Amino acid sequence: MFVLKSLNDSISVLPGVGPKKMVALNKLNINTIADLLGAYPFRYEDFATRKLSEVSDQQKVALKGTVASEPVISRFGRKKNRLNFRLLIEHDVIMVTFFNQAYLAKQVETGKSLAVYGKWDAKRQSLTGIKILAAAADDELGGVYRSSKEIKQSQVKKLVAEAFKEYQELIVDLIPEKLRHKYRLMSRKEMIRNIHFPDNQKIAKLARRTGVFEEFFLFQVKMQYLKRHSRIKNGIQIKYDLQKLRSFIAGLPFTLTPAQKRVVNEICYDLHHKYHMNRLLQGDVGSGKTIVAAIALYAAVTAGFQAALMVPTEILAQQHAEKFVQLFKGLDVNLVLLTSATASKAKQRRELLKNLENGQIDIVIGTHALIQDDVNFAKIGIVVTDEQHRFGVSQRQVLRQKGKSPDVLMMTATPIPRTLALTAYGEMEVSTIDELPKGRKIIKTFWLKNSQLAQAYSFIQKQLKEHAQAYIVSPLIAESEMMDLKNAEEVYAKTKKLFEPQYHVGLLHGKMSSDEKRQIMAAFKDHQIDVLVSTTVIEVGVDVTNATVMMILDAERFGLAQLHQLRGRVGRGERQSYCLLLADPKNEYGVARMKVMVQTNDGFMIAQKDLELRGQGDILGSKQAGMPEFKLGDPVADLNVLQVAQKEAAQVVNNPAFDDSQNKDPLFKYVKHSLSTGMSFD
Ligand code: ADP
Ligand code: MG
C-alpha cells in the first residue's frame, strides 16, 4: 500500500507508540512527527573520554579503561543492589560503582575495554556509574531530553532517531536560500540532525546557531505578517464624534500632557481607519494612561459602539469603574462592572449579560470574568487591557475574538527595552507616554536596614501629622498566601499599637471578599484610614493621590519591576512623596536592586538594569515582561541574532509577492499553517 508521509503525521505511526505512550508524549506537547523533531535536547552530556588528570571532583565524565576485576554484586535492603568493579586507566586503578543496575554485570568482563559515563569522586578515586557507553558509538555528546514519569528520556531519544530516519527526506528549508548563504547557516535537515545527534561540541554549537536564527526569524515573519495584515484587512471604522470628544477632554480636571495628546491622536487615527487597531500603550507608572483609555472608550461610545476595559485585579476594576462613573457624569454613557464578584450573583450576572448582548450597556469594566465563554457583545468596537503584562499572550487574543475584530489597545507600565519590545509585542504598533504630568516630584527613595524600623515609623508619623497618608507593604512570601496573610496581620497589629487611636490603620489582603476590599479602599481614598497595611494586592494601578509614603518591608524579596510598581502608588499628586525600603539583602544582587531603586525613578532605566542584573537566560524575567518563550534562542543573550532576524523577516514580509495565495514558498505555507492553527499564540 502506498501511503503519503507527512511531517504532520501523528506520532502514533512510529513503531512502539501505542495509546499509552501517545498520551505521555502529548503531555510533553509532542503530537506530530514535526513536534518530535522539534523537541530539542535541553542540554548535552559530554561522552568524550577524558584523562584522569583532567577530571575534577564531582564532574560528570566518560572514562575509558580495561576491566581489572570480576564484577561484584552486593544486595542490601529490599530490592537494592550495588555493582562494583575495578577499571585500569593507563597506570591508575579506579573503582566503578553502579547502584541498582546489577543487570549491567554481564557487560563487564575482566580484560575487556569499557567506557563508563558517571560522576567522579576524586577523594575516593571512584566513579559512580550512570551508564556504560557502547563501544561502537563514538558520539561525544548525548542529548538530554525533556521526559516525564510515563516516558523516559531514553525512549524519547529513540523515537526522535526513528522519526529522523523515516522522515528526514521531508524536511524542507524554511529560511530562504539567500539568507542561509549570507549567514552561513545549515540546511534545516542538517540542523535538526546535528541538534539531536551531534558528533562533537563544535557541530552542536553551529547547529544551535542555525536553530536560534530560524526560531527568531520564523517568529518575526509570523508577527510582522500579522501586523501587516491587520493594517490591510477590513476592520471596523469607528467614526467618533469629534465635538463630543473635544468637550469631554476640555472638561477634564487637568490638561493632557503633550505626550498624552500625542498618543490620543495616534489612537484616534487608528480608530477612524478601517483596519484593526492593535496598539500597545507604554507609559511609566503615574504617567496617566487611565485617562487615555477613558478617551478611547468614550470615542467608541460616541460612534455607537460598545467598549470594554479588562484589568488584572478586582481592586483595580472597582477603582476604574468608580473613576469612570465620575468622568462620564452627565454624559449619556451606561457603564457596568463585571468581575468574579458579579459572577457569584447569578441573577445580577444574567441580567448584565443580557444587556451586553442587546447593546444597552455601553462600557463594561472587568477582570478575567470578561473573557468567559458566555460573555457576548451586541456591537463591540474597542477592547482595552490595562496592566497588559499581567495577561498572557493568548489571553490578549481571546478578548479580541469576542467581537467582529474590535480595535485593541493594550496598556502596560512595565517598559521593556525597545529591542525586546519588538519581540514581545512584535505584532503591535507601539505608542509611548514618555513624560509625567507637570509638577510631579521625584519620589525620594531611602534604603534602611531592618534595625532602623523605628526610624521609618517615626518618619511615617511626621507625614501623618501633615495630613498625608501611607502604605505599608508586608513581606511577600511567594510560596504561601497563608503566610502572606499572617505577616500582614502581624504588621497590622504592630502599626495599630503605634498609631491608634490618633490615626486609623486599615488592613487589606487577597483573602478578603471583594466587597471588603472595596470598602477598605474607599475608606483609604476618603481618608478615613491614614495608614493602609497591605499585602501586594495593591501592587498595580491603585491611585490615591494623598498618599505620600510607601514603606516596603523585606524589600529584598521583591523584583525590581515590582518594587517600581509599588513605589508608583505614591507620588501621584503634587506633594513630595517617599519610598522607604526596609531590607537586609543577603547577596550582591539584592544590594544592587536596592541601589538601583534609590538611584532612579525612571521605569525604562529600571527595566534595563533589571535585565542586566538578571543576566542572560532568565526565563522568569522574560515571562514577567510578557515575552514569548523560545526553545533555543535567548532574546537577551542572542540579541544580535534577534535583531538580524527581525530585519530580514521584514524584508521578506514586505515583499508583496510573499502574500500571494499562489506563493509556493514553504515559508509562506508554514506561516499560513501556523497562524491558522493558532500555534504562535500558545
Ligand atoms: P498610570 O499611567 O500609572 O495608570 P494614572 O492614569 O493612574 O497613571 O494617573 C496617575 C494620576 O495622574 C491620576 O491621579 C490621574 O488623575 C493623574 N493625571 C493623569 N493625567 C494627568 C495630567 N495630564 N495632569 C495632571 N494629572 C494627571
Ligand atoms: Mg494604571
The last residue of a domain, from among 570, 600, 630: 600
C-alpha cell at 436: 509625567
Instruction: Tell me the residue ranges of DSSP E strands in 216-294.
Output: 278-283
**Do residues 512 and 626 share a domain?**
no
* CATH assignment of the domain containing 69: 2.40.50.140
385: left (phi over 0), alpha (psi -120 to 50) or beta: beta
- The residue whose CB lies within 8 Å of the most ligand 1 atoms, and thus the one to mutate among 318, 388, 543, 604, is 543
Q: How close is the Cα of 314 to the center of ligand 2, in Å?
A: 13
407 lies in the same domain as 484: no
Q: Is residue 121 within 6 Å of ligand 1 at its C-beta?
A: no
Q: Is residue 526 part of a domain?
A: yes
Residue 177's contacts (CB-CB under 8 Å, 6 or more residues apart) are none
Cell of 662: 499562489
Kindly list the protein residues that place their beta carbon closer than 5 angstroms to ligand 2, a single-atom ion. 541
Residue of 249, 254, 309 best suited for mutating to test ligand 1, as the one with most atoms within 8 Å of CB: 254
Which of 302, 305, 278, 290 has the alpha carbon at shortest distance from 401? 278
Please indicate, yes or no, whether residues 199 and 339 belong to a single structural domain of this protein: no
CATH code at position 486? 3.40.50.300
To the nearest 5 percent, what fractions of the chain are helix, strand and coil? Answer: 45, 20, 35
Cβ–ligand 1 contact at 572 (below 6 Å): yes
Q: Say how many Å lie between the CA of residue 257 and the centre of ligand 1.
A: 10
**Residue with cell string 469594566:** 365
The answer to whether position 17 is within a domain reads: no
Query: Whose C-alpha lies nearest to ligand 1, atom 17?
Result: 288
Note whether residue 436 is domain-resident. Answer: no
Say which DSSP state 168 is in: G
Q: How many angstroms separate the alpha carbon of residue 286 from the centre of ligand 1?
A: 5
Nearest residue (CA) to ligand 1, atom 4: 289
Question: Could you tell which of 248, 261, 291 is best to mutate to test the pocket of ligand 1, judged by most ligand atoms within 8 Å of the CB?
Answer: 291
Whose C-alpha lies nearest to ligand 1, atom 12? 288
**Grid coordinates of 371:** 473573557
Handedness of CA 224, 225, 230, 231 (dihedral sign): positive
286 lines ligand 1 (CB under 6 A): yes
Residue 302 counted as domain residue: yes
Task: Report the C-alpha gap between 682 and 679 in whole angstroms.
Answer: 6
**According to the model, what pLDDT value does residue 620 have?**
36
pLDDT along the chain (682 residues), means of 10: 80 92 92 94 85 90 91 88 93 93 91 91 92 67 88 90 95 95 96 93 93 93 81 80 95 95 95 87 90 97 95 87 94 91 80 94 90 86 81 57 74 72 73 88 95 96 96 76 76 95 93 86 94 83 88 91 90 91 91 94 84 54 55 81 90 89 87 66 31
Distance from Cα 365 to the centre of ligand 2, integer Å = 14
Q: Whose CA is nearest to atom 15 of ligand 1?
A: 288
Q: Which of 389, 572, 601 to mutate to test the pocket of ligand 1 (most atoms within 8 A of CB)?
A: 572
Q: For ligand 1, atom 26, name the residue with the nearest CA.
A: 437
Q: Are residues 511 and 658 in the same domain?
A: no
Which one of the ligands is nearest to 525 CA? 1
SS (H, E, C) 564-587: HHHHCCCCCCCCCCEEEEECCCCC
Say yes or no: CB of residue 543 within 6 Å of ligand 1.
yes
Provide the CA 42 distance to its chain's centre, in angstroms: 19
Nearest to 601 by CA among 609, 589, 612: 609
CB 563, CB 555: distance < 8 Å: yes
One domain, residues 305 and 450 = no
Assess whether 263 and 382 both reside in one domain: yes
Query: Is residue 23 one of the residues assigned to a domain?
Result: no
- What the block records as the C-alpha cell of 117 is 559515563
In the block, which residue shows the cell 500603550?
Answer: 281
Going from the Cα of 574 to the center of ligand 1, the distance in angstroms, rounded, reads: 11
- Of the three residues 388, 412, 436, the one that is the final residue of a domain is 412
Q: Computed from CA positions of residues 128, 132, 138, 139, in that sequence, does the dihedral angle turn out positive or negative? A: negative
User: Quick check: 390 and 384 in contact, CB under 8 A?
Assistant: no
User: Is residue 509 a part of any domain in this protein?
Assistant: yes
Q: Which residue's CA is minimally distant from atom 10 of ligand 1? A: 286
Residue 252 CB partners (closer than 8 Å, separation 6+): 291, 327
**pTM over the 0.75 mark:** no
CB-CB neighbours of 290 under 10 Å: 20
Contacts of 356 (CB under 8 A, 6+ apart): 306, 364, 375, 376, 377, 378
Residues 575, 646 within the same domain: no
Rounded to a whole number of angstroms, the CA Rg of the chain reads: 30
543 DSSP assignment: -
Coil, strand or helix at 325: helix
User: Per the domain annotation, does 293 fall within a domain?
Assistant: yes
The answer to whether position 682 is within a domain reads yes
Counting beta carbons within 10 angstroms of the beta carbon of residue 1, is it exposed (0 to 12), middle (13 to 18) or buried (19 or more)?
A: exposed
- How many domains does one find in the chain? 4
Evaluate: CB of 285 within 6 angstroms of ligand 1: yes
Let me know if 661 is exposed, middle or buried by CB neighbors in 10 A (0-12, 13-18, 19+): exposed
Q: Is 406 in the pocket of ligand 1 (CB under 6 A)?
A: no
| Phi, psi (deg, nearest 5) at residue 471 | -110, 145
DSSP bridge partners of 551:
472, 580
Q: How far apart, in whole angstroms, are the C-alpha atoms of residue 189 and residue 174? A: 11
Residue 187 is given by DSSP the state P
**Is residue 370 a contact partner of residue 338, using CB atoms and an 8 Å limit?**
yes
Q: Are residues 632 and 573 in the same domain?
A: no
Nearest to 546 by CA among 531, 532, 529, 525: 525
Sign, CA torsion 318/321/324/328: negative
Out of 553, 570, 600, pick the residue that ends a domain: 600
Q: How far is the CA of 475 from the centre of ligand 2 (A)?
A: 23
256 lines ligand 1 (CB under 6 A): yes
Is the peptide bond prior to 475 cis by the omega test (within 30 degrees of 0)?
A: no
Strand boundaries in 2-154, DSSP class E: 43-46, 60-67, 72-76, 80-89, 92-99, 113-121, 126-133, 141-144
Q: What separation in Å is there between the alpha carbon of 14 and the centre of ligand 2?
A: 52
To test ligand 1's pocket by mutation, which of 257, 263, 290 has the most ligand atoms within 8 angstroms of CB?
A: 290
**Is 399:193 a contact under the CB 8 Å cutoff?**
no
Judgement on whether residues 110 and 203 belong to the same structural domain of the protein: no
Do 262 and 401 fall within a single domain? yes
- Distances, alpha carbon 143 to alpha carbons 45, 47, 104, 214, 274, in Å: 6, 10, 22, 20, 51
288 lines ligand 1 (CB under 6 A): yes
Range of the domain at 338: 242-273+288-412
Q: Is 608 found in the same domain as 524?
A: no
Could you tell me if 566 and 623 lie in one domain? no
Quick one: which atom of ligand 1 is closest to the CA of 290? Answer: 6
Instruction: Return all residues near 135 (Cβ < 8 A) that are at least 6 apart.
Output: 113, 114, 115
Does residue 567 have its Cβ closer than 6 Å to ligand 1?
Answer: no
Alpha carbon dihedral 394, 397, 401, 403, in 10-degree steps, equals 140
CA 621 to chain CA centroid, Å, is 7
